[in-house]
Each structure stands twice: as C-alpha cells, then as structure tokens.
Amino acid sequence: MDGAERVKNQALAFCYHTATIMGRLRAPGKGLSQSALPYRRSVPTWLKLTSDNVKEQIYKLAKKGLTPSQIRVILRDSHGVVQVHFVTGNRILRILKSKRLAPDLPEDLYHLIKKAIAVRKHLERNRKDKDAKLRLILIESHIHQVARYYKNK
C-alpha cells in the first residue's frame, strides 16, 4: 500500500509539473527550447572583421531594403559574424536607428499586416472559406495586440 501511494504521488507530481509549463500564446509549442549563446561575450579570435566593417555591411544591406533579421542572417552565413552585439557593442536595430535607416514599422507588426493582406486577398476570391475567415480574425487580433504593446512601450 505504501509503495502504491508513492507511485500515485509521483504520477500526480509529474502531471502537476507538466501542467504548470506555460504554453505560447500564438504558437503551438511550450517554449522549452532556447538557443545557446556562447559564455564569453567577446569577439571570436578567428573573426577578421572590425566593428566599423560590420557597421558598413549593415548600412549597405539596409539601403538595399533588407530587414534587421535578414541582415543578421546574411552577416552570420556569409561573413561569419556570430553575434553583431559582441562585435559592435550595439544591436542591429540600434545601429540602423543611429543612421536613420531603421524601418518605420516594427518588423513583427509589418509581417503580420502583410499576412493579413494576403488572407484578405484570398477571401475576396474564395468567399466561402470559413477557416480563412477565422484565421483573418485571429491575425487581426494579433495585430491589435502587438500594436497596443508598441503604443504602451
């Protein structure tokens, strides 16, 4: 009887632990995985680019019309810059704001609006698509929530 109670308590503790993990608001995952940043926040020894070179690359890519996250991917994949913050001391958006090259809308809000426009265009062609109508309502709700966040910020 004592062993059975212990197993029951362990099962309840496991269920309680898994139930207390918070889920994401707008995504299906539980948010347990994270990217691992390097422990040392210094510039890697193998990186030959200087802070000024990285900033010039950022300015050049921003003038082409790329978003900060696209700039980050290009710097990581093509130039080997692991973290822009470690090299320059500032994040990409702050560097762009200092030269007045930052986008007018925040990137997440811009992509939500773009997605809502695409769904609305789809609904004009397919009026009976109830699932798309629901998705549009959810996307617009998300837009309002993000916009409220940026207004209060």
Token code pair at residue 8: 């029951």
> In this predicted structure, what is the pLDDT of residue 4?
66
- pLDDT surpassing 60 at residue 69: yes
Q: Could you tell me how many residues make up the chain?
A: 153
* Average of per-residue pLDDT across 89-115: 96
Among residues 37, 67, 82, the alpha carbon closest in space to that of 58 is found at 67
Q: Which range (8-17, 31-40, 62-71, 123-132) has the least confidence?
A: 8-17
Q: Where are the domains of the chain?
A: 51-98, 107-152
Residue 95 neighbours by CB distance under 10 Å: 23
Distance CA 79, CA 47 (A): 9
Domain 107-152 has CATH 1.10.287.10: yes
Q: What is the DSSP letter of 59?
A: H
Distance CA 21, CA 16 (A): 9
Q: For residue 90, give Cα distances in angstroms to 19, 74, 98.
A: 39, 17, 10
Q: Global pTM?
A: 0.73
> In this predicted structure, what is the pLDDT of residue 72?
96
- pLDDT surpassing 90 at residue 88: yes
Distance CA 44, CA 46 (A): 6
> In this predicted structure, what is the pLDDT of residue 106?
95
What are the pLDDT digits (tens) for 133-144? 999 999 999 999
Q: What is the DSSP letter of 89?
A: S
What are the pLDDT digits (tens) for 10-48? 655 555 545 556 677 777 777 777 778 888 888 888 999
Residue burial 9-20, b: 16+ Cβ < 10 Å; e: rest: eeeeeeeeeeee
Long-range contacts of 88-93 (CB under 8 A, 24+ apart): 88/51, 88/54, 88/55, 89/51, 92/58, 92/68, 93/68
